[in-house]
């Protein structure tokens, strides 16, 4: 049964970054390492750009999973950070769920490592509690395409929507007239071909190229 189109709303969305940890990132094989980290940081940048409530969590940091990717803590120094002592499913951690519900948002933009566990488990749990879940597929990684595809199937059957960070950004923005330079700078910082596009456009218009850093 087809569901009606439910669009992301910047006033109703929150971002959950689950277990992007140094040790776990070494398990990701469905993306190359540089590409994957770029996608994760792109999602973080769009969360900051749209001023979305963002929650960070890790699993068993003192063990082999390792610490959170430092760029994420630097990007969100005031965001709730929940280091889970042992729970595999972030939704089993009371502090994490409280932080999610405290945002007052019903749309959850979710990414993590690894996809079939750290993403799928909280996604399914949140859906069961009435949240809309949007899984950012290219900022979530796992061992191989088989395990990834199986987890995507499981989540979509439960009602999760699969998106990319670029699609999330465009759906949140909705209209270029809101801001051209800010969003174009975000895209250019993470997509080399997009920077080429903007550089070409800037030369044609006789304007300065976009800065390399997103405010």
Provide, rounded to the nearest whole percent, the portion of the chain with pLDDT above 90: 84
- 148 within a domain of the structure (yes/no): yes
Structural domain range at position 181: 175-205
Q: Three-state SS for 27?
A: coil
Indicate whether 130 and 201 sit together in one domain: no
| Confidence at 162, pLDDT banded by 50, 70, 90 | very high
Whether residue 166 is found in the same domain as residue 179: no
Considering the domain architecture, whether residues 60 and 122 belong to the same structural domain is answered as: yes
- On whether both 183 and 157 belong to a single domain, the answer is no
Catalytic residues: 118
79 versus 185: which is more confidently predicted? 79
Residue 1 placed within a domain: no
Q: Is residue 133 part of a domain?
A: yes
- Side-chain half-sphere exposure of 177, counting CA atoms within 13 A: 0
What is the pLDDT, as a whole number, of residue 1? 59
Number of domains composing the chain: 2
- The pLDDT tens digits for 104-143 are 999 999 999 999 999 999 999 999 999 999 999 999 999 9
Q: Is the per-residue pLDDT at 211 higher than 90?
A: no
Q: What is the pLDDT of residue 209?
A: 60
CATH at residue 78: 3.40.50.850
Quote the CA–CA distance of 136 and 161 in Å, as a whole number.
9
Shared domain for 112 and 180, answered yes or no, is: no
Higher pLDDT, 20 or 182: 20
pLDDT band at 213 (very low <50, low <70, confident <90, very high): very low
The pLDDT assigned to 199 comes to: 74
Contact criterion met (CB below 8 Å) for 134 and 159 = no
- Looking at the domain assignment, is residue 214 inside a domain? no
Tokens 């929940």 label which residue? 82
| Phi–psi pair at 207, nearest 5 degrees | -110, 170
Kindly tell me if the per-residue pLDDT of 62 is higher than 50: yes
pLDDT for 181: 85
Name every residue whose Cβ is closer than 8 Å to that of residue 120 and which is 6 or more positions away in sequence.
151, 154, 155
Same domain? For 187 and 91 the reply is no
Q: Are residues 33 and 125 in the same domain?
A: yes
* Within-domain flag for 4: no
Question: 143: which DSSP letter?
Answer: S
Q: Is 80 exceeded by the pLDDT of residue 76?
A: yes
pLDDT at position 215 is 41
Residues 45/189, Cβ–Cβ less than 8 Å: yes
| Residue indicated by tokens 């218009």 | 205
Per-residue model confidence as pLDDT tens digits over 15-34 = 999 999 999 999 999 999 99
Residues sharing a CB contact under 8 Å with residue 133, sequence separation 6 or more, in sequence order: 108, 110, 123, 126, 127, 155, 159, 160, 161
């Amino acid at each position: 049964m087809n569901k009606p189109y439910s669009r992301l709303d910047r006033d109703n969305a929150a971002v959950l970054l689950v277990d992007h940890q140094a040790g776990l990132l070494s398990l990701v094989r469905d993306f190359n390492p540089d590409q994957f980290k770029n996608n994760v940081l792109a999602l973080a940048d769009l969360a900051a750009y749209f001023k979305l409530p963002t929650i960070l969590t890790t699993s068993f940091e003192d063990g082999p999973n390792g610490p959170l990717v430092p760029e994420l803590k630097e990007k969100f120094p005031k965001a709730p950070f929940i280091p889970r002592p042992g729970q595999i499913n972030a939704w089993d951690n009371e502090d994490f769920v409280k932080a999610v519900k405290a945002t007052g948002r019903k749309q959850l933009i979710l990414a993590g490592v690894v996809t079939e566990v750290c993403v799928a488990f909280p996604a399914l749990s949140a859906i069961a509690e009435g949240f809309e879940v949007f899984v950012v597929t290219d900022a979530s990684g796992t061992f191989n395409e088989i395990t990834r595809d199986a987890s995507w199937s499981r989540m979509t059957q439960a009602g999760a929507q699969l998106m990319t960070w670029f699609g999330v950004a465009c759906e949140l923005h909705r209209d270029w007239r809101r801001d051209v330079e800010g969003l174009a700078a975000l895209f250019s910082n993470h997509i080399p071909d997009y920077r080429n596009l903007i550089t070409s456009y800037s030369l044609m218009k006789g304007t300065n190229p976009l800065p390399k850093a997103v405010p």
